[in-house]
Amino acid sequence: MKKNLRLGFLVHGSEIPAWYAESLQTIIATGQHEIFLLRFSAEQISPPAAPLFFSLFQRFERKWFQNQFDATRSVSITEFAKCAVILDFSAESFLLSSEEFELLQALELDYVYTIAYNGHAAENVSAGAKFGLWYVQFGYVPLDSHQVPAFWEVMENAAVTRSCLLMKKKEQITVLYEGSTRTVPFSVFNNFSSIAWKTSSFVVFRTQSLATLYETFAERFAEPFTYQTPLREVPSNRKIPLLFLRNVGRYLLYKAKAKLPAGRFTLLYRRGMFQIENLEQEPFHALPLPPDVFLADPFLIEKDNINYVFYEEYSYLTGKAHISVLEIGQPGIPSRPRVVLERPYHLSYPFVFEHDGAYYMIPETVTNRSVELYKAVCFPTEWELVMTLMDNCELIDCTLHFQNGLWWLFASTANHSFVSTNDQLLLYYSSDLFSGEWTPHPLNPIATHAGNCRPAGRLFIERGKLYRPAQNNASQQYGYGIVINEIHLLDKENYREAPVRFIYPEPLGLKAIHQLAFTSDLIVIDGIK
């Protein structure tokens, strides 16, 4: 049973940025909680004036990279007047007067959320709510700085940009959500919009966790916060031109490389038994790659001494993919591929599995906003739609696992069209595969970093331990590598995993390795040569 919460959202003045408004709108749309907008009458105190060249750089970025996904666009709080109580405070900081602190306490809020607290300023707001003050922190940059978050990640060509949601209560700061997403190269403006839209989902997810795990919430999110990277100073007038020119140089190099033929994913295979530590010991054989296509997302079924390889076959001519299959028997020679499933929309990641003597498939159908279950009427070539497991959703690379009488469904997602799909892993469970009723895990998302999140094949057990392969997208190259995670705890209220093996493409003579599949005598991967 989810608890109805009383939530305070702190705003400065009459407008908030669009990414903050997104958080509010999503929580309000649940219709479950009572919302209070705590409006400080004074505008947020402005930071010191930025160096001239830095200000000019910001103006250039905003003009050059204008787009419809501007996370900093202003939204009036009057849009929320019908569904939230707006209360005015005269405070100019987070340190309330005794009268206004009593007013805050009287609201009996579960938390107060803000995007403006810097983590160290004097405050007493956190003492006025049961679960304290919730606030965000971006990467290298303190929130009281005049430099834009996501700046240094672009200028230093960092693979990922980080942010987190923190909870302050009784002078203790703990981590509620920590995540990273691939850095948008060349543009600080676009990179900030990307990480801001992503961060807008953090408070939404943890509000769901609080409503479900109310009595044990503080115990579950008790990890102390420490800065993993040093905060950075704003660049001087002397340094800004150098950073700008270096960034332009990288962009011109990128445009030049873009004219060269792009690498394409293909399938590679080798005979033998898979073990976590032995993948790089012997070479793989690449399947011939037809023109104008790429091959990816292999899944294997072993039946009657034949390995059936199901995979995505993407056509650059049609702009979508279908599911194909080929066979590799004892001689180890692949058969000619056959198309087994095609729809008007894009299909990929053909998760094929056996259940009660029948074969089923869950292909990725995110462009149809659904999770569809198919059954083989004539294995391996003929499939029919059994049912839609979930509708009106955007779940990517759905991966099933059955354990302790429950079906567990892992899938990555994105909360906004401008953000990556590689760094939020959701988990659902159901007691009946065919019920259409899937319960979201209260700790969603259970993985939040670009380097160890999106599914890279089916879960497997080796030497009594359960493992989950994940894509390593902490790189400018999509699908750069694979991380093998050992799952230590999996139940309706808990999930814990830890990486135990990193698989990199270079020892295999590849530029990327994206997915792993194996049977008792065959290993198949996909990669870019």
Instruction: Give mean pLDDT, residues 383-404.
Output: 97
Given a cut of 90, whether residue 259 has pLDDT beyond it is no
Taking only the tens place, the pLDDT of each residue in 76-129 is 999 998 899 999 998 778 999 999 999 999 999 999 999 999 888 899 999 999
Sheet holding 465-472, edge to edge: 460-462, 465-472, 481-490, 495-503
Given a cut of 60, whether residue 507 has pLDDT beyond it is yes
**Percent of the residues in the chain that have a pLDDT greater than 90, as a whole number:** 77
pLDDT band at 46 (very low <50, low <70, confident <90, very high): low
* Residue 19, helix vs strand vs coil: helix
Q: What residue ranges in 336-392 does DSSP mark as E strands?
A: 338-341, 348-355, 358-365, 370-378, 382-391
Cα angle 174-130-96, degrees, rounded to a multiple of 5:
90
Between these two residues, 53 and 481, which has the higher pLDDT value? 481
Taking only the tens place, the pLDDT of each residue in 287-315 is 989 899 999 999 999 999 899 999 999 99
Bridge partners (DSSP) listed for residue 168: 133, 173
Q: Residue 429 and residue 69: Cα distance in Å, rounded?
A: 33
Residue 226 tokens read as 């420490």
Cα four-point dihedral sign 159, 474, 429, 223? negative
pLDDT band at 147 (very low <50, low <70, confident <90, very high): low
State the DSSP code for 445. S
Residue ranges, CATH 2.115.10.20, the chain: 265-528
Instruction: Give mean pLDDT, residues 51-68.
Output: 81
Instruction: Give mean pLDDT, residues 365-381.
Output: 97
Bridge partners (DSSP) listed for residue 449: 180
Bridge partners (DSSP) listed for residue 528: 265, 512
DSSP-H helix ranges across 150-299? 151-155, 188-199, 202-212, 217-220, 239-258
CATH number for the segment(s) 6-255 = 3.40.50.170
pLDDT band at 139 (very low <50, low <70, confident <90, very high): confident
Taking only the tens place, the pLDDT of each residue in 400-436 is 999 999 999 999 998 888 888 999 999 999 999 999 9
Instruction: Give mean pLDDT, residues 498-518.
Output: 95
Contact at 8 Å (CB) between 516 and 525? yes
Given a cut of 70, whether residue 230 has pLDDT beyond it is no
- In this predicted structure, which of 222-236, 238-252, 333-347, 421-435 has the lowest mean pLDDT? 222-236
Between these two residues, 233 and 489, which has the higher pLDDT value? 489
DSSP string of 29-90, one letter each residue: HT--SEEEEEEESSPPPPPPPPPHHHHHHHHHHHHHT--TT-TT-EEEGGGGTTTSEEEEE-
Residue ranges, CATH 3.40.50.170, the chain: 6-255
Closest listed residue to residue 149, CA positions, set 117, 187, 113, 188: 188
Q: What residue ranges in 211-319 does DSSP mark as E strands?
A: 265-271, 285-286, 293-303, 306-315
* Residue 304, helix vs strand vs coil: coil
pLDDT band at 169 (very low <50, low <70, confident <90, very high): very high
Taking only the tens place, the pLDDT of each residue in 178-210 is 999 999 999 999 999 999 999 999 999 999 999
- In this predicted structure, which of 55-64, 159-168, 468-477 has the lowest mean pLDDT? 55-64
pLDDT of residue 91: 79
**Mean pLDDT rounded to a whole number for the chain:** 92
pTM, full prediction = 0.94
Burial level of 66, CB count in 10 A (0-12/13-18/19+)?
A: exposed
Residue 149 tokens read as 């978050």
Cα four-point dihedral sign 4, 5, 6, 8? negative
List of residues 6+ apart from 233 with CB closer than 8 A:
none
Instruction: Give mean pLDDT, residues 449-478.
Output: 95
Instruction: Give mean pLDDT, residues 53-65.
Output: 83
pLDDT band at 484 (very low <50, low <70, confident <90, very high): very high
Burial level of 228, CB count in 10 A (0-12/13-18/19+)?
A: exposed
Q: Residue 156 region, left (φ>0) first, then alpha (ψ -120 to 50), else beta?
A: alpha
Q: Residue 193 and residue 123: Cα distance in Å, rounded?
A: 28
Most confident of 133-142, 291-300, 327-336: 291-300
Given a cut of 60, whether residue 247 has pLDDT beyond it is yes
Between these two residues, 165 and 415, which has the higher pLDDT value? 165
Q: Residue 212 and residue 1: Cα distance in Å, rounded?
A: 7
pLDDT of residue 144: 56
Burial level of 327, CB count in 10 A (0-12/13-18/19+)?
A: middle
Separation of CA 202 from chain center = 11
Helix 239-258 vs helix 52-64: crossing angle, to nearest 10: 30
Contact at 8 Å (CB) between 363 and 386? no
pLDDT of residue 42: 56
pLDDT of residue 68: 74
**Assigned fold of 265-528:** Tachylectin-2; Chain A (2.115.10)
pLDDT of residue 461: 96
Length of the chain (residues):
529
